[in-house]
Structure 1
């Protein structure tokens, strides 16, 4: 009798796509365009093309690794199995730092933007409120996260369609 804990597939492909899109924040374009344009020396098309190629090859690499190691893997697992366990360990620490700092930066940016729109409410209040909301959504479960992410992406796409011209 096998009583090993196992993950079950509870999301559909479109929900996973929306989770990925929500993480990439489609509206970020509005907030970073000027900085990105300057950093790219006015070559935004080339910069986006290079970024696309890097993302494409990363996705392709993951598709190959999934076929080579058909387990619920990650960059850690694939690096550990394909290259060396010690390098996999370093990759896992880099990912952990990314998973810690990316949400912190996103929440702080949200707080700063909201404070700009509503100056009477301090940044820290927005940060606390958003942390509570995100914690509650995550506690409810992955399907609620997928639902909220889908709504967020649709709202962003509508905003870009209506006001991005």
Structure 2
């Protein structure tokens, strides 16, 4: 029994299996408010990357881009992540990952996954995820290609296609 629990722990830790959320736990979708209230001062996008600024106080994270050597963030640090890359932030009780969307929409944004390990509080493991889709800015005052908007949708290819179709209609 202990061996099975250990194997499941390793599989979940490596992100090979996403545990299901208990019915009584909140499983709300990740959105911009989640990111800015919990992790960053702000999140901005261009058509080719996202830029985040870490908070100036509170938690610090161990982070890695595309499996590079892990680093501890500095307060107020800016970090730019190209579309198609993977950014992983780890703190003692949780992990948030920005990873590439599946083909054929790989260059349209990120899958954002958050895993909170509340087992020490006897509440289990909670997961949240969403697709963060990068779309051209709708503000006419911005230069084309300069800035983009981030839209958060349910983590399905169909939801991303709907956003992209809306984008085509807006043109």
TM-score, structure 2 normalization: 0.23
More helix, by proportion: 1
Instruction: Say which structure, 1 or 2, has more relative contact order (CA 8 Å, 6+ apart).
Output: 1
